[in-house]
Amino acid sequence: MTTRGQPDADKASPEPGDSGEAAKYLPREVLSIGANERKESPGQNDRLMEEVANPANLNTAWKRVRENGGAPGIDGITIAAFLKHAKPRSEALRRQLLEGSYRPSPLRRVVIPKPSGGERLLGVPTVQDRVVQQAFLQVLQPILDPTFSEHSYGFRPNKSAHQAVAAAQAYLQQGYGWVVDFDLEAFFDRVNHDRLMSRLGERIADKRVRWIIRGFLQAGVMENAQLKATTEGTPQGGPLSPLLANLVLDELDKEMERRGLRFVRYADDCNVYLRSERAAANAFENLTGFIEGKLKLKVNRAKSAVARPWERKLLGFSFMPGKNAKRRIAPKALAKAKERIRELTKSVPRHVVC
């Protein structure tokens, strides 16, 4: 089985000081205003917006967005063009953040074909929204990430896919020779906003932070020149989406830990390892009930399975049968790599050696 983040009448929060058009933002020289302000303590959880809107934090966020590149959002403003609009509006952006009145723009829909068939729907935020999301990420990740399970490896500092595969291999070597391989159907499109905001509210006291994050979730998507509401999901494409996805699935991690299960999770890829087929089948049914009943997500039963680990793949790898459970590249991943090599080399001219 992965990725990769995004106001309505039902919002109960106030709308203080909405200044209308979203401000444009940017670089160090632009951020000289207020640069010497005292930075609020990260421990003051109800004053986190002061951390987000701090000029140094915004400047770092801008650098990350600029380094990552990417296409423009619905406003058509590229990263290079964004610089021209930023300087006179940087203070307006900070004011909107501090007031909690910042309003994200709708996402631009991009459809990416999957190698195995089907499509992945991405939502491309505007450059400014990417800067703001990155600024939120830089403040929230140090608070949220330490509360996550040690068995979660996706999109986290000092965690990797190779660590996840190594952990799975260790379980097999310990005799856990059956795997429950979960496929969460359209996970990023199905995340329940109310549950996500409830989880966020348990950790983040600053209502301005929660209000603007809900704004990102419900900003809508422009598709075929029409604005479509986003009542669920954390659209892939923004810097904040992976952190929010981990926050949602941390509830699943904690449930599996409570049950004493051995598992590895990388974003929405989740494998659980057990000693017998019967135990694996029971775990599949019980966890499916939890995922669909409590988390309001959907398990794709056609793609999920209770099987031997060498019959399945994890993050492009599989395992050999036997006590050592040696790793190997999964057949489909290997075939894909070979095909890519052929594509890259078929147009290379052959040199004749005399």
What is the bridge-based pairing of β-strands 305-307 and 317-319? unpaired
At 112 the pLDDT is 82
Region of poorest pLDDT, from 24-33, 168-177, 208-217, 219-228: 24-33
Cα–Cα distance list, 305 to 3, 23, 232, 281, 317 (Å): 21, 48, 26, 9, 16
Question: pLDDT band for position 351 (50/70/90)?
Answer: low
Question: pLDDT band for position 236 (50/70/90)?
Answer: confident
pLDDT beyond 90 at 330 = no
Q: If you ran DSSP here, which 8-state letter would residue 265 be given?
A: E
At 132 the pLDDT is 97
DSSP string, 13-53: S--TT--SSPPP---GGGGGTTTTSPPPPTT-GGGHHHHHT
At 350 the pLDDT is 57
Q: If you ran DSSP here, which 8-state letter would residue 304 be given?
A: -
Residues 246-259 have a mean pLDDT of 98
At 150 the pLDDT is 97
Q: If you ran DSSP here, which 8-state letter would residue 182 be given?
A: E
How far from each other are the two terminal CA atoms of the chain, in whole angstroms?
Answer: 50
Instruction: Write down the pTM of the prediction.
Output: 0.81
Region of poorest pLDDT, from 9-18, 139-148, 272-281: 9-18
Question: pLDDT band for position 268 (50/70/90)?
Answer: very high
pLDDT beyond 60 at 18 = no
Q: Quick one: tokens of 168?
A: 């799975």
pLDDT beyond 60 at 139 = yes
Question: pLDDT band for position 111 (50/70/90)?
Answer: confident
Instruction: Tell me the per-residue pLDDT of 291-309, one tens digit each, with 9 for 90 and over.
Output: 999 999 999 999 999 999 9
Q: Which residue has the higher pLDDT, 334 or 272?
A: 272
Instruction: Tell me the per-residue pLDDT of 36-68, one tens digit each, with 9 for 90 and over.
Output: 333 433 344 789 999 999 999 999 999 999 999
Instruction: Tell me the per-residue pLDDT of 178-222, one tens digit each, with 9 for 90 and over.
Output: 999 999 999 999 999 999 999 999 999 999 999 999 999 999 999
Residues 258-287 have a mean pLDDT of 98
Q: Which residue has the higher pLDDT, 120 or 182?
A: 182
Region of poorest pLDDT, from 17-31, 125-139, 237-251, 331-345: 17-31
